Chain A
Amino acid sequence: MHRAHKLALAAALALGCATAHAVGPQAERPKAEVIHWWTSGGESAAVKTIADAYRAAGGAWIDTAVAGNEQARAVAVNRIVGGNPPAAAQFNASMQFLDLVEQGMLNHVDDIAAKERWDTTLPAPIRDVIKVKGHYYAVPLNVHMPTWIWYSKAAFKKAGIAKEPATMDELFAALDKLKAAGLIALAHGGQSWQENIVFMAVLANVGGKDLYLSVFRDRDPRAIASEPFRQVLLAFKRLKSYVDPGSPGRNWNDATALLVNGKAGVQIMGDWVKGELNAARLTAGNQYGCITGFGARAPFLIQGDAFIFPKSANADTIKAQKLLAGVMVAPATVAAFNRIKGSLPVRADLDASALDACAQAALAVMKDRTRHVGNGEVYLTPDQNGALVDVLTAYWNTAMPVEKAQKNIAAALKG
C-alpha cells in the first residue's frame, strides 16, 4: 500500500516535470507579479487591458488582486519589507510610497521618464509626488478627478430646476428646491473618506485655489484660523442638512444608485461614479449632468493611480519590470485602460473623441495647467490625511462648533 502511494507520487512528480518541460518557453517569458486593488467588474476589465498588452509584448502576467486599497498596499509593503517583493504594485500617486523611496526599496524609472518627457508632459501634482530627489519612482496611469458634482436631470426636472448651477449659491438653491420637492437633495455615503471628498470640493469651490493650497500644501495655521476657511467649513456643514437619515455607513455606489433611480438629486464624488451610471445605461448630458467646479478659475483636483517597481536582485524580475513599465506608458494601453476605467489619460496627446461628454469637458479644463491642484493625499502623509479625515467626519456628524473644528484641523495637520 505504502509503496503504491510512493509510486503514484513519483509518477505524478514525473508527469509534473514533463508538463513543466512542455511549457518550457513560458519560463523564459519575463514573469511579472502585479499587486493591485482593482477588483470590481469595471476595474478588473480595465486592468486586463494592461495584462493583455503585457502578454502581447512577450511577458507572463501574474495577477495578485487584493480587495481594498489599504489592504492591497499593506500586502505590497509587507512583501517588500519581507524580501519577497512583487514585480510591480499599485499605489495612488501620492505620499503613500515616500517611505519606501526613502528606504531605498524602489527602482527608479528615469529612462522612461526621459523618453516620455514627463518633466513637461505630466500634470504637476502627479509629477511632484512621483519624482523624489530628481528620480522618478512610479509610472502613473491615469488622472481621477475626485470632486465632481453629479446631478440627475430627472430629479432636477421634478424639482423645477431649469438650469445647471453655476455657483455655490446656485447649488444651494437647487438643493433647497430638491428638498422641497420631497427628494433626497444630496446623495451622500456617510463614510469618513466620502466626507473628505465633499470637504475638498467645498474647499476648492468656496475657498479657491490659494486657500486650498495654503491648507493642504502649506498646512498654514493662519489660513486654517482665517475667516475664509471658517466660511468653507460652514458651507461644508450646511451640505449636511441636505442628506437623508439613512446616509451614515452607506457605500458610494449605493448613493449613486439613489441618483440612478431618481430618488436623489446631487452627488459629490469622483469620476468612478461614471462606471455605475454607465452600467445603468445612463448617458452624460442626457440623463445626468456633471460639473468639475464653479467658474473659470475653479481648481481642478487631481489624483491618480500609479505603479511602483520594488528593487529586486533577480535579473528576470528586472527585465519584467522594464518591459511592464514600457507597456504601461504605451499610448494604446493608456487609451484602452482609461476608456474602461472612466478616468482621464495622463498623456495629453491622445485622441479624445472616443471619450464621453464629461471626460471631454474635464480634458478641456485640464488643459489649463494653472488650475491643477492635487487631492489631499498628494500633499499630506497618510498619517496627516487620516488625522484630518477624523476631524472632518466628527465635525460633519456631531454638533462640533466650527471654531473647534478649525483648531482640531490645525492640530491634525501640525504633525
Chain B
Amino acid sequence: MRIRHPLRQVIPFAALLPMALTVIVGYLGTVLWSLRISLTNSRSFPSDTFVGMAQYTRLFENERWLLSLHNLALYGVLFIGACLVIGFLLAVFIDQNVTGEGVLRTIFLYPYAMSFVATGLVWQWMLTPGNGIEQAAHQFGFAGFSFDWIVDQDMVIYTVVIATVWQASGLVMAMMLAGLRGIDGEIWKAARLDGIPTWRVYLSIVLPMMWPTIATVLLLLSTAVVKLFDAVVAMTQGGPGTASEVPAKFIMDHLFGRANIALASAGAVVLLVPVLAMLAPYAYARSRKGRA
C-alpha cells in the first residue's frame, strides 16, 4: 500500500521529533529553568519566592565573581591565541613531509588524550616551588633559578594557560593539518612557479583559504574557555587566595557546597551571554551562506 502524500511529508519530522524534544526539553527547558531559579531566593531547594534581580546584584557586587570574569577574559584571549599559533606552526612543521610524521603527530596529539584533572595535577607538581622545574634547573646548575608563578597572585592564571595550551594545541594541530592537506596542490605549484617564498604562501594564500577550519577551531576552543573548571581545581583550587578563580568554579561551589542554587543559576545565566555572543555571528554567517 502506498503512503498518502501528506503523511509522507510528516514522516521525516516524526523521525526528528525525539531529537527536537531533547533539544527543547533538555537544553532550552533547563536554560529557562535556570533563568527562573536565578530570579528566586532558592537555597538548597528551588523556591517560588521571586526576588527580582537581587541575585544578579549580589553577583556583581561579589569581588570573587568579578575577578573570575576578569580571569576568564584574560585566560580566553591568551589560551585561544596561543593554541592557534602553536597548533598552526606544528601543523605547518608536520606538513613539510618530515620523517616520522606519524610518531610526531601522535606525540603532539597525546596530551589531548589526558583529562584536564591529570594535566592539572602533573603541572601542579612541575610548577610547585622547590619541586619539578625549579628543582631540575637547580640540579642542572642554575642555582639562582626561580619559577614560582603558581604561588604568585599576579602570575598564577598564566600557569593555567601554560598547562591547558600544552594539552589543547595538539588537537588544534590535527585539525589544522587536515585543513592544510585539503589545500589543492595546484596552488602550491603555481606559487612555486611565481617564485613566492613559502612563508608568504602560508600566510597570504593558505591561511585565508583555511578559514572554515579556523572557525571550527575557534568555536571548540571558546567552549573550552567558558567551561574551564577542572584544570583550575586540580592545579590551584582557585588560589592562592582567589587569584585564579573562574566563573565555572564559582557556580559549582555555590551549587553544591554553599547550597545557593539561585546565585549559582544567576552565574550560569551570565555565563551564557558570552556563549551566545560567540555563537550569534557564527550562526549569522552560516545562515547568509545558506541563502547565497
A interface vs B, CB < 8 Å?
70-71, 73-74, 77, 81, 96, 99-100, 103, 190-192, 245-249, 381-383, 385-387, 390, 393-394, 396-398, 408, 411, 415
Minimum Cβ distance to chain A for residue B147 (Å): 12
CA distance A246 to B237 in the complex (A): 15
Q: Which residue of B lies closest to A396 (CB)?
A: B241
CA distance A353 to B124 in the complex (A): 44
Q: Which residue of A lies closest to B241 (CB)?
A: A397
CA distance A81 to B261 in the complex (A): 14
CA distance A333 to B61 in the complex (A): 48
Selecting from B25-33, B105-113, B190-198, B251-259, the interface stretch reads B251-259
CA distance A148 to B148 in the complex (A): 30
B interface vs A, CB < 8 Å?
43-45, 58, 61-64, 124, 128-130, 148, 150-151, 153, 236-243, 253-254, 256-260, 263
Partner of B43, one of A245, A381, A397: A381
27 contacts between A and B (CB under 8 A): A73-B257, A74-B256, A96-B259, A99-B43, A99-B44, A100-B44, A190-B239, A191-B237, A246-B128, A246-B129, A246-B151, A248-B239, A249-B151, A249-B239, A381-B43, A382-B257, A386-B254, A386-B257, A386-B258, A394-B241, A396-B241, A397-B239, A397-B240, A397-B243, A398-B153, A398-B241, A415-B58
Q: Given that A245-B129, A246-B151 are contacting pairs, would A383 and B243 also be in contact in the complex, using a CB cutoff of 8 Å?
A: no
Q: Which residue of A lies closest to B240 (CB)?
A: A248
Q: Given that A249-B151, A397-B239 are contacting pairs, would A382 and B258 also be in contact in the complex, using a CB cutoff of 8 Å?
A: yes
Interface contact A382-B259, CB-CB below 8 Å:
yes
Minimum Cβ distance to chain A for residue B264 (Å): 10
Q: Given that A190-B240, A393-B242, A408-B63 are contacting pairs, would A249 and B257 also be in contact in the complex, using a CB cutoff of 8 Å?
A: no
Q: Which residue of B lies closest to A385 (CB)?
A: B258
Interface contact A249-B236, CB-CB below 8 Å:
yes
Partner of A191, one of B64, B130, B239: B239
Interface contact B240-A249, CB-CB below 8 Å:
yes
Q: Given that A74-B256, A383-B258 are contacting pairs, would A397 and B129 also be in contact in the complex, using a CB cutoff of 8 Å?
A: no
Partner of A386, one of B44, B243, B253: B253
Interface contact B263-A390, CB-CB below 8 Å:
no
Contacts of B148 in A (CB 8 A): 245
Task: Tell me the number of A-to-B contacts counted with CB atoms below 8 Å.
Answer: 90
Minimum Cβ distance to chain B for residue A79 (Å): 13
Q: Given that A100-B44, A246-B130, A382-B258 are contacting pairs, would A394 and B239 also be in contact in the complex, using a CB cutoff of 8 Å?
A: no
Q: Given that A81-B45, A99-B43, A394-B64 are contacting pairs, would A383 and B260 also be in contact in the complex, using a CB cutoff of 8 Å?
A: yes
Partner of B44, one of A77, A192, A246, A408: A77
CA distance A74 to B259 in the complex (A): 9
Contacts of A71 in B (CB 8 A): 256
CA distance A120 to B196 in the complex (A): 92
Q: Give the one of A248, A383, A386 with max B CB within 10 A.
A: A248
CA distance A190 to B151 in the complex (A): 9
CA distance A74 to B256 in the complex (A): 6
Contacts of A385 in B (CB 8 A): 258
Minimum Cβ distance to chain A for residue B240 (Å): 4
Q: Give the one of A100, A103, A192, A390 with max B CB within 10 A.
A: A390
Contacts of A70 in B (CB 8 A): 256-257
Q: Given that A245-B129, A249-B236 are contacting pairs, would A99 and B259 also be in contact in the complex, using a CB cutoff of 8 Å?
A: yes
Q: Give the one of B61, B148, B151 with max A CB within 10 A.
A: B151
Contacts of B128 in A (CB 8 A): 246, 249
Contacts of B263 in A (CB 8 A): 383
Interface contact B58-A249, CB-CB below 8 Å:
no
CA distance A245 to B127 in the complex (A): 13
Minimum Cβ distance to chain A for residue B14 (Å): 32
Knowing that A99-B259, A246-B128 are A-B contacts, what are 15 other residue pairs whose CB atoms are under 8 Å apart, sorted by A's residue number? Answer: A74-B256, A81-B45, A99-B44, A190-B151, A190-B240, A192-B242, A249-B124, A381-B259, A382-B259, A386-B257, A387-B62, A390-B63, A390-B64, A390-B242, A394-B64
Interface contact A397-B256, CB-CB below 8 Å:
no
Interface contact A383-B43, CB-CB below 8 Å:
yes
Q: Which residue of B lies closest to A384 (CB)?
A: B258
Interface contact B45-A192, CB-CB below 8 Å:
no
Contacts of B64 in A (CB 8 A): 390, 394
Q: Which residue of B lies closest to A77 (CB)?
A: B44
Interface contact B259-A383, CB-CB below 8 Å:
yes
CA distance A246 to B242 in the complex (A): 16
Q: Which residue of A lies closest to B42 (CB)?
A: A99
Minimum Cβ distance to chain A for residue B261 (Å): 10
Contacts of B62 in A (CB 8 A): 387, 390
Minimum Cβ distance to chain B for residue A104 (Å): 11
CA distance A71 to B253 in the complex (A): 11
Interface contact B239-A393, CB-CB below 8 Å:
yes
Minimum Cβ distance to chain B for residue A9 (Å): 30
Minimum Cβ distance to chain B for residue A175 (Å): 20
Minimum Cβ distance to chain A for residue B77 (Å): 23
